[in-house]
Amino acid sequence: MSEKEEPRVGVYTCHCGGNISDVVRCERVMTALKKLDNVVVSRTDMSMCSDAGQAMVEADIAEYGLNRIVIGACSPSLHEQTFRGTVARAGLNPYLYHHVGIREQNSWVHKDDREGATQKAIRLMAAGIAKARLLDPLEPIRLSAKRHALIIGGGIAGLRAAWDIARRGIQVTLIEKSPFLGGHMAQLESVFPTGEAARGTLHDLIDKVTGHPNVTIHTRAELVGMSGYVGDYQATIRQQSRGIKEGFTGIDKLIENCPLEVPDEFNYGLTKRKAIYTAYPGCYPPTPAVDWENCNKCGDCLKSLNGERGLISLENEPHDFDLTVGAVVVATGFRLYEPAQGEYGYGEFPEVITLAQLIRLLALNGEKELVWNGRTVHNLAFIHCVGSRQIDGINEPQPDGQVNNYCSRVCCTATLHAANELRERFPAINLYDFYEDIRTYGRGHEEYYTEASKNMVRFLRFHDDELPRVTPDPYANGTGALLVTAKDYLTWGQEIDAPVDLVVLATGVMPNPIDDIIKLLKVSPGTDRFLLEVHPKLRPVETAVPGVVLAGTAQGPMNIQESCAAASAAAAKVAVLLGQGRVELEPFVAHVDPDRCDGTGECVTVCAYEDAIILAGVNGATKAVVTPANCAGCGSCVSACPNQAIDLQGWSLSQYEAMLDAIASDSLPVVA
Amino acid sequence: METKPKILILATLSGGYAGADSVGQLHANYPSNAYILPVVCPSMFSESFYLRAFERGIDGILLMYSGTDCPFKGGAERTAQIVNKTFPLMKEKGIDPRRLRLVAICTVCTKPFLKEVNQMNDLLRGIGPVKMEMAHAVIGD
């Protein structure tokens, strides 16, 4: 490495608007750090990431000739990149910046120990300064990138992202686990806030996506393998057979011949379908699929088929194929909360259904009257927040021990939308709406509440620790009617009994179970199980894994409008990343000091990456040689080398030793 | 003034350090004498690194790695091997091997994170400073 200039360190302790300074005495940290060797400037600021905070650093670099910058602030995952950019703007190499986490790792976890937190901040930042003294300027690794994106999920978010990416001249492969595109949106009829027909809008997009020359679609396909890095990911896709080849014409006869009947998931079990099926009339692809879970291979479907037999196979033969892509969009979507057995009578009384089922019922039902279980519905109650905003200790935990403490955001407006439709189509039905809070938060959503209020939907407000109870109506004489009992806080806690024929639970939103994908992509879920973006404002829809972005409800509850916005954001990130056909990687890879290396080859033995380190002749001697693009930067070789000749750039052993010494030091000016 | 033991937490960016972020977001409390440094993968540290840390006066080291979720091929296994080779060397120097602990922490493992830090802190308060322990070993106490 190059001859080192004398370090001139600028060190800054961020108040984070009180998030840090309410606990850590930042001025004392600043004063203590001033006494350390090589520290030229030590300051605090209310908000280092603000324009003013960054401008201060830039000005100090220019005025004092600083060549190392250390900032103690939030976790490096939030602002390390921001401040690398700051120092780069001031003309310094961005890798001469070091970030110290003193918020998540200090002020937020030592609230009752201001003195301890202050001393800890001084030590952690002194360690940061110790590392900064040893930093070297680095250059990012520049690699060519495959202009091809993989999208996981064929719902509205995946389709929206596919269209936006493909239009920018980038190849798209979209994989969908189920046999048909469209996801949950296909199961909706009219959607808020515009009242447009869901499948109409969806199919406009499906037609555009499937007709685009840059897009390849694989249904019944899942990600099963992943390696490589941004710009050059190798994905392995496993596709299940469809059973029926494209071009088959005798679809109706084929389905009719199937003797099996299973609950139709498209209608949430309200109807049955065959074991050869299409999702709905007009679905994409139009070719039916064999339901391998339920098909018993009886062969009845093949009867009376003559010429086209060769187009059908009742054996599922999954096949794997590989794909090289530059980026991945995770659009794996959501599932609806399944109420526990007996929760508000669900699974116990047939008259308790979910909002999703009601929406299908309204689509299937005639125009005259609403009929459930052969009986006309005269009284109907909605219950909000089922599986949302749950409280530990009040709500029954799910099988994995978790409660959904978040708001699912879409259910309030969707419930009121359904209530208004009911009122319009079946004006005689009495509608009760049991809620904790109404959150019609979006543009054009409040109108649904106003309309429902105007149209005699009776609102009853319960408290979260006094949930409504659903019991059989003792006066109904076995006709199946139920009683919803709740304390209504709109009438100052009056106990209300509402006799109803149907209870509709507005169930919340949960991410699809995608543990395999999480493992393969190495993305992180939050404690609510939804996937995490790096920062909601600074790096929206980006995950911490370079080249892997999020689209739609995999990231949290969103309505269709928001899913589309997130998907377009994801597409823009992919387009920026792959548009130039090359990417930059962090230069944190192994680096050999040829003067120390005597070619033992220990590093090559221990390295698990192909062609990352080899032994080669350098000026007549055998030396280890690193190919940066193939090095993962784990550092296994560092501990293997008997001569300390190999190190990790940006995270070197000597830097760790220096940090450790600062933490262990007894001579730090930590006490006031 | 009571001197608190010094705990060094070496936490992987993909595991323990992200776990510490989650603990921070929860605003949970743990002892302020636990100093956390991010690492890419602890497989870069050899036995001598840990011994050096104890010699400098670090009383306990928690290696919060990513376990089976380690993003690097062989990184977790190699880390475990090195740690296992370190224990007998610690004993030779009279250092209680419980002062070094390898533990898998995921990005949302907030409860295990807190448990490990508190347990290490309790242990170190019980067995005292590493420097004293090493001095006793030298004089054959």
A568 touches chain B (CB under 8 A): no
pLDDT at B138 over 80: no
pLDDT score of A525 = 86
pLDDT score of A2 = 46
Q: What does the pLDDT average to over B121-141?
A: 87
Q: Which uninterrupted H or E stretch holds A234?
A: strand A232-239
**Is residue A187 a contact partner of residue A360, using CB atoms and an 8 Å limit?**
yes
**Distance between CA A127 and CA A105 in Å, rounded?**
14
CATH of the structural domain A1-139, one choice from 2.60.40, 3.40.50, 2.30.30, 3.30.70: 3.40.50
CA nearest to A519, candidates A231, A237, A223? A223
DSSP class of residue A5 equals P
Q: Do B44 and A112 touch (CB under 8 A)?
A: no
pLDDT bracket for residue B2 (50, 70, 90): low
pLDDT score of A5 = 84
Give the three-state DSSP class for A327. strand
Q: Do A109 and B110 touch (CB under 8 A)?
A: no
**Distance between CA B51 and CA B83 in Å, rounded?**
11
DSSP class of residue A349 equals S
Query: pLDDT tens across A276-318, in order?
Result: 999 999 999 999 999 999 999 998 888 867 666 778 889 999 9
- B chain contacts of residue A25, beta-carbon cutoff 8 Å: none
pLDDT score of A535 = 77
Domains A148-240+319-333+512-583 and A335-509 fall in the same CATH topology = yes
**Is residue B124 a contact partner of residue B7, using CB atoms and an 8 Å limit?**
yes
A75 touches chain B (CB under 8 A): yes
**Distance between CA A467 and CA A469 in Å, rounded?**
6
Residue window 111-130, chain B: list those with CB within 8 Å of chain A.
Answer: none
pLDDT score of B1 = 42
Structural domain spans, chain B: 7-138
A410 touches chain B (CB under 8 A): no
Q: Do B53 and A664 touch (CB under 8 A)?
A: yes
pTM: 0.77
Kindly give the parts of chain A with pLDDT less than 50. 1-2
CA nearest to A156, candidates A176, A126, A132, A131? A176
CA nearest to A350, candidates A377, A386, A384, A326? A377
pLDDT score of A378 = 95
Q: Do A77 and B18 touch (CB under 8 A)?
A: yes
Residue window 104-123, chain A: list those with CB within 8 Å of chain B.
Answer: 104-106, 108-113, 116-117, 119-120, 123
The structure tokens listed for A409 are 């955001």
Residue window 26-45, chain B: list those with CB within 8 Å of chain A.
Answer: 27-33, 35-41, 43-45
Minimum-distance CB partner of B78 among A77, A104, A606: A606
Fold of A335-509: FAD/NAD(P)-binding domain (3.50.50)
**Is residue A361 a contact partner of residue A400, using CB atoms and an 8 Å limit?**
no
Minimum-distance CB partner of B40 among A588, A659, A661: A588
ipTM: 0.97
pLDDT score of A58 = 98
Mutation target for B interface from A131, A518, A610, A636: give the one with most B CBs within 10 A.
A636
**DSSP per residue over A81-150, as a string?**
HHHHHHHHHTTS-GGGEEEEE-TTTTGGG-TT-HHHHHHHHHHHHHHHHHHHHT-----PEEEE--SEEE
Q: What is the CATH architecture assignment of B7-138?
A: 3-Layer(aba) Sandwich (3.40)
Q: Which uninterrupted H or E stretch holds A577?
A: helix A560-579
Give the three-state DSSP class for A164. helix
Beta pairing, strands A171-176 & A148-152 = parallel
* Interior angle at CA A293, CA A287 and CA A297, nearest 5: 75
Structural domain spans, chain A: 1-139, 148-240+319-333+512-583, 251-311, 335-509, 589-648
**Is residue A379 a contact partner of residue A430, using CB atoms and an 8 Å limit?**
yes
The C-alpha of A660 sits at a distance from chain B's nearest C-alpha, in angstroms, of 7
pLDDT score of A168 = 96
Which CATH class for the A589-648 domain?
alpha beta
Query: pLDDT tens across B46-100, in order?
Result: 999 999 999 999 999 999 998 877 878 889 999 999 999 999 999 999 999 999 9
Q: Is A106 exposed, middle or buried (0-12, 13-18, 19+ CB in 10 A)?
A: buried
Calculate the dihedral angle through the C-alpha atoms of B46, B104, A515, A539, rounding to the nearest 10 degrees.
Answer: -70
pLDDT score of A302 = 83
pLDDT score of A1 = 41
Fold of A148-240+319-333+512-583: FAD/NAD(P)-binding domain (3.50.50)
Minimum-distance CB partner of B41 among A112, A544, A634: A634
